[in-house]
A and B are shown apart, each in its own frame.
Chain A
């Protein structure tokens, strides 16, 4: 049996396991271990299982995962994210679907200090979901808004995925952050447009909210001053070079704790609770990262991605067609892999091809984040969807899958834009550096 057949077989097995309620990390780990055994032998599988588990849990770059999750917890406990949301809500009032737009904007704003999509979605679920339900929004639409908004956490800098991409591709992380800024804002606008469209087209989804005066809107805008302070500390610190993008997660979280304590919004008890939930959530994420790395290790050895690209090149497909193929491959992978695992498998294979066609590695980094984002919200394995379900168990996965549908158009459209206007990503880093 050839390696590619083994690869396809285990990808199929993983789908079956997932469908049969096997925990996501476990399905990935089983296929990684069994796949390696099938390709080589059980000793190789053992080596891979033992070393990957330890190596991923001791990777400096991944320390940002628990730190950003904790930042989300602290922001929730200290009502920081709820202030953000209410500011956005007041500003968007009077719009049909305004709460959904407010959710997306507040997610984008929170994403400006937090680099984790999952943490952004988790925070916003707890704040925005109950409000939308109270206002009579359909669960599917609300959950779709939160899931989509959450993806802004990794496109609007800081961003865990860009930190990892930068490490693999040896690109400057602040430059990558700068490159993803404008596409992040564009994506936010696209999501908001989709939300408004859905709200207007689909009857019974959303009632209209009350109007408020301009003065009230301005006042609401100034309300989340603690957030602005945090933003200045983290982004200012990164760009002035006081700390690295990696350290920004720790410094930002520490600043959030201190600010919340000083303004008497966080008690020691709440802090301990936040530490507990963060530890559990980040262990859940790490198990998936570890499982995905084992699976990635296996998929890489089947050489499926290489084979596909080599075949495409052999039949004479041009650069643009190959790029299209790469994006389609990413979208397919995104359906069943988690973001970090996806970056680990694909970037070493695709980056040399992409740069050989003259595409900028920084530009490609932005593209990778967008496809990873898309993966976070595409069924069946969409981390943001799972996190929302964990926070709001009463929303069914089925409703989530249907609610996210319309929002999937936005990242796809943004990818097109990025090809037509590479300056969207490349202008800001060029202007800054």
Chain B
């Protein structure tokens, strides 16, 4: 594995670890809020905002792993009717489409992120500027774009970070 490939694999691994942590924190925030209401009759301020922000992190930082591991759901009925070479061509073609669309989505997110900054949008309970959440999301999206570009050049299939499991299988 080349140095660049190793670096990319390390980045993608780190992003996934962030996403996993966010998911776990989400549970803790909900449970803490419920427990505080139940025990001391006082909600945890910012629980609602916290869950939303952690969801953003979990989704956007999980995305690169999905792209790099090719975990996306596809309909492979055509495989039975066409030669393997054509299937391989279709795979590459959708990698290209995927890179283009993810790139388009990334670019499309910059403007609303800028507006959240310019307009001074705030999260309701935490008073946290919303642009920070956008920047976080853009970070994950950039990882997704990176993964889709790597896929165009053969991907990270040999990388130990992504066993060839399919989504939730173990």
Q: CB–CB under 8 A between A and B in the complex?
A: yes
Contact partners of B108 in chain A: CB under 8 A:
46-47, 49-50, 53
Chain B minimum-CB-distance residue to A277: B168
Task: Let me know if A381 and B56 touch, CB within 8 A.
Answer: no
* Segment with Cβ contacts to B, from A15-23, A168-176, A222-230, A413-421: A15-23
Asked whether A54 lies within 8 Å of B137 as measured between CB atoms, the reply is: yes
* Interface members, chain B 42-86 (any A CB < 8 Å): 48, 51-56, 58-60, 62-63, 65-66, 69, 71-80
Cα–Cα, bound, A247→B48 (Å) = 10
Residues on the A chain within 8 Å of B34, using CB: 237, 242-243, 247, 250-251
Q: Which of chain A's residues has its CB closest to B133's CB? A: A58
**Interface status of B16 (Cβ within 8 A of chain A):** yes
Mask: chain B, 11-24; 1 = CB below 8 Å from A; 0 = not: 00000100110011
Cβ contact of B76, chosen from A21, A247, A279, A383, cutoff 8 A: A21
Interface residues of B, count at CB 8 A: 66
Q: A63-B26, A280-B66 are in contact. Are A21 and B94 (CB under 8 A)?
A: yes
Flag if A284 contacts B167 (CB, 8 Å).
yes
Which B114-170 residues sit within 8 Å CB-CB of chain A?
A: 133-134, 137, 141, 165-170
B107 within 8 A of A: yes
Chain A interface helix/strand/loop/mixed: helix
- Residue B7 CB within 8 A of the other chain: no
Q: Measured between C-beta atoms, what is the minimum distance from B122 to chain A in Å?
A: 14
Residues of A within 8 A of B6 (CB): none
Asked if A181 is an interface residue, CB under 8 A from chain B, the answer is no
A284-B167, A287-B63 given; A54·B56 CB < 8 A: yes
B165's nearest neighbour on chain A, judged by CB, is A277
Any B CB within 8 A of the CB of A359: no
Q: Are B75 and A18 in contact (CB under 8 A)?
A: yes
* Complex interface: stretch among A65-73, A312-320, A367-375: A65-73
CB distance from A261 to the nearest CB of B (A): 13
Q: A126 to chain B: which residues have CB within 8 Å?
A: 169-170
Is the CB of B97 closer than 8 A to any CB of chain A?
A: yes
State in angstroms the CA–CA spacing of A63 and B58 once bound together. Answer: 10
| A3 interface residue (CB < 8 Å to B) | no
In the complex, the answer to whether A24 meets B137 with C-beta atoms within 8 Å is no
Q: A58-B133, A247-B33, A250-B27 are in contact. Are A282 and B76 (CB under 8 A)?
A: no
In the bound assembly, the distance between CA atoms of A47 and B111 in angstroms comes to 8
- Residues on B with C-beta less than 8 A from A386 are 73
Asked if residues B105 and A29 are in contact (CB atoms below 8 Å), the reply is yes
Scoring B31, B48, B62, B141 by chain A CB atoms within 10 A of each residue's CB, the highest score goes to B62
Q: Does B10 contact A (CB under 8 A)?
A: no
B138 to chain A minimum Cβ distance, whole angstroms, is 9
Cα distance A46–B72 when bound, in Å? 23
B56 / chain A contacts, CB cutoff of 8 Å: 54, 57-58
A-chain residues with CB within 8 Å of residue B87 when the two chains form the complex: 21
A287 in contact with B166 given A26-B72, A26-B97 (CB within 8 Å): no
Which of A86-94, A154-162, A390-398, A425-433 has 4 or more CB atoms under 8 Å from chain B?
A: A390-398
In the complex, which of the residues B90, B101, B107 contacts A46, with contact meaning CB atoms closer than 8 Å?
A: B107
From A53, A278, A398, give the contact of B105 (CB < 8 A): A53
Q: How far is the CA of A49 from the CA of B100 in the complex (A)?
A: 13
**Which chain B positions have C-beta within 8 A of A257?**
27
The digit string for A273-286, where 1 denotes a CB below 8 A from any CB of B, is 10111111111101
Give Cα A91 to B76, complex, Å.
38
Known contacts A24-B74, A386-B73; decide if A283 and B52 are in contact (CB<8 Å).
no
The answer to the question of A192 belonging to the interface, with a C-beta cut-off of 8 Å to chain B, is no
8 A–B contacts from the bound complex (CB under 8 Å): A21-B91, A26-B98, A57-B137, A63-B54, A67-B27, A254-B31, A275-B23, A391-B166
A residues in contact (CB < 8 Å) with B:
18-26, 29-30, 33, 46-47, 49-51, 53-54, 57-60, 62-63, 66-67, 69-70, 72-73, 76, 122, 126, 237, 242-243, 247, 250-251, 253-254, 257, 272-273, 275-284, 286-288, 380-381, 383, 386-387, 390-391, 393, 396-398
